[in-house]
Amino acid sequence: MSDSFLADWVYTDTVKEHFMNPRNIWKKYENWTPDASGEVGSLACGDQMRVGIIVKDDRISDIRWLTYGCASAIASTSMMSELAKGMTLAEAYNITPAMITDALGGLPEHKFHCSVLGDKALRAAIDNYLESRNLPNPYKKSVAKIICECKGVTDQMIEELVVADKAKTIDELKQLTGFGTGCGKCVNKVTQYFEEMKHIHNK
């Protein structure tokens, strides 16, 4: 391997370690049954992800994952699984892409989106766990961020409308939420997030 190749390698040692030796992989023939699982992304786009969790005393006692993607996707999901293990459901639900990236020592800017799927697949698994047991989910509101201040539209609201197939186009989203009908400053941000959610949830 040439010195020039190593010099051009843009990943940190931590990213390389988690890519070469990923933790908590969901092995096909492993006798492991999760309490709940969540899946996001699209196999057609090469970044599908599944996360399974086992919960004891309101904490994630064990976690496994599968993903199709690049070194960043593998490393970031491996790190996410290490962060989540032992956390309460509330703590795990609040893991952010920035937390994962910081723990890895950073990612190239154009690869940052690869860490987004890990936290969302984990949240989907927690959602599935609570829903399957008819338990309340107080965590969604805690992570919701307002994108359109004039109409009080949150990122969580947009994601739920996409997942439920109630907003298949940006025009439908506008009719349902009224975003952009106030000051209009949110239009680009809402549109970008809407397209991201369609991609992540394969809509």
pLDDT digits (tens, 9 = 90+) for 165-195: 999 999 999 999 999 998 888 999 999 999 8
Active-site residue 45, yes or no? yes
pLDDT confidence of 144, banded at 50, 70, 90?
confident
- pLDDT (mean) for 116-129: 90
pLDDT confidence of 21, banded at 50, 70, 90?
confident
Residue 202 pLDDT > 60: yes
Could you give the percent of the chain with pLDDT greater than 70?
A: 87
Active-site residue 186, yes or no? no
- pLDDT (mean) for 137-151: 86
Residue 1 pLDDT > 50: no
Task: Give me the torsion for CA of 105, 111, 117, 122, rounded to 10°.
Answer: -10
pLDDT confidence of 5, banded at 50, 70, 90?
very low
pLDDT of residue 102: 85
pLDDT of residue 67: 85
**What's the distance, CA 134 to chain centroid?**
23
pLDDT digits (tens, 9 = 90+) for 54-87: 999 999 999 999 887 777 788 889 999 999 999 9
Q: Which of the following is catalytic: 45, 70, 148, 183?
A: 45
179 CB-contact burial (10 Å; exposed 0-12 / middle 13-18 / buried 19+): buried
- pLDDT (mean) for 158-164: 89
Q: Which of the following is catalytic: 114, 148, 150, 186?
A: 114
pLDDT confidence of 103, banded at 50, 70, 90?
confident
Structural domains in the chain plus CATH codes: 3-140 (3.90.1010.10), 144-200 (1.10.10.1100)
Mean pLDDT taken over the chain: 85
pLDDT confidence of 18, banded at 50, 70, 90?
confident
pLDDT of residue 44: 59
d(Cα 78, Cα 81) in Å, to the nearest integer?
5
203 CB-contact burial (10 Å; exposed 0-12 / middle 13-18 / buried 19+): middle
